[in-house]
């Protein structure tokens, strides 16, 4: 399933389709297969707490129960705030096209943590923007997304700020020695 967004670049609006790329496609995946003494594939199973029963795959499930221990269907669940009131989900799409900023330096991307990677369907992309991306330029969308390209296509990286300070190899450690309330073992002086 693809999501469509409108982006604006130098007055031109492009409607692009985003296809989320999963971790297995990005990084690859492996599967470990357990074998018994005869080389047959093992299946996983669960043991009950008392150790009396072995539960084979498919015999357990996740279910939601209410205070009366009645099963609640997933579609009947509602999000609540800390006061027990229905929470308002505010995930509205921005009104109008998102204006791209940039080109931005690669360091702007390095200051963020990438949360999702989307492949962009470039068929509706403005030709000026597509040309700029093909030359290695990176653009930033207002929702902390970075639009970039490589030899495999055009991608939108959804990111959030890293929220940590960079500590370099030669950085000095500063120890605040003004607080004499505690002795060197961390106990309060009497």
Residues 108-167: pLDDT tens digits?
888 888 888 888 887 778 888 788 888 888 888 877 688 888 888 888 888 888 777 666
Find how far residue 35's CA is from the centre of its chain: 34
What's the rounded Cα separation, in Å, for the pair 7 and 4?
10
Confidence grade of residue 92 (pLDDT, cut at 50, 70, 90): very low
Q: Looking at per-residue confidence, does 179 or 173 come out higher?
A: 173
Tell me the chain's radius of gyration from C-alpha atoms.
26
Q: Please return the burial class of 103, using the count of CB atoms within 10 Å of its CB with bins 0-12, 13-18 and 19+.
A: middle
pLDDT tens per residue across span 41-69: 988 888 888 888 888 877 766 777 788 87
What's the rounded Cα separation, in Å, for the pair 126 and 160?
26
Confidence grade of residue 10 (pLDDT, cut at 50, 70, 90): confident
Q: What is the mean pLDDT of residues 66-85?
A: 78
Q: What is the mean pLDDT of residues 21-30?
A: 79
- Using the Cα atoms of residue 128, residue 129, residue 130 and residue 132 in order, give the sign of their dihedral: positive
- With H, G, I as helix, E, B as strand and everything else as coil, classify residue 116: strand
Contacts of 79 (CB under 8 A, 6+ apart): 86, 87, 89
Confidence grade of residue 177 (pLDDT, cut at 50, 70, 90): low
Q: Please return the burial class of 119, using the count of CB atoms within 10 Å of its CB with bins 0-12, 13-18 and 19+.
A: middle
Using CA atoms, how far residue 155 sits from 18, 43, 161, in Å, is 8, 39, 19
Q: What is the mean pLDDT of residues 172-180?
A: 61
């Amino acid at each position: 399933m693809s999501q469509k967004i409108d982006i604006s670049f130098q007055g031109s609006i492009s409607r692009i389709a985003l296809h989320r790329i999963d971790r297995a496609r990005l990084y690859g995946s492996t599967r470990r297969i357990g074998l018994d003494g005869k080389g047959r594939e093992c299946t996983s199973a669960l043991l009950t707490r008392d150790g009396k029963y072995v539960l084979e795959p498919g015999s357990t499930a996740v279910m939601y129960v209410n205070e009366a221990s009645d099963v609640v269907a997933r579609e009947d669940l509602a999000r609540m705030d800390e006061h027990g009131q229905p929470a308002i989900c505010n995930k509205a799409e921005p009104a109008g096209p998102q204006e791209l900023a940039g080109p931005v330096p690669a360091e702007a991307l390095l200051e963020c943590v990438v949360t999702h990677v989307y492949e962009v369907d470039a068929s509706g992309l403005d030709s000026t923007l597509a040309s700029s991306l093909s030359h290695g330029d990176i653009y930033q969308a207002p929702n902390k997304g970075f639009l970039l390209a490589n030899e495999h296509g055009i991608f939108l990286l959804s990111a959030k700020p890293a929220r940590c300070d960079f500590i370099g190899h030669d950085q000095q450690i500063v120890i605040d020695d003004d607080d004499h309330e505690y002795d060197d073992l961390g106990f309060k002086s009497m």
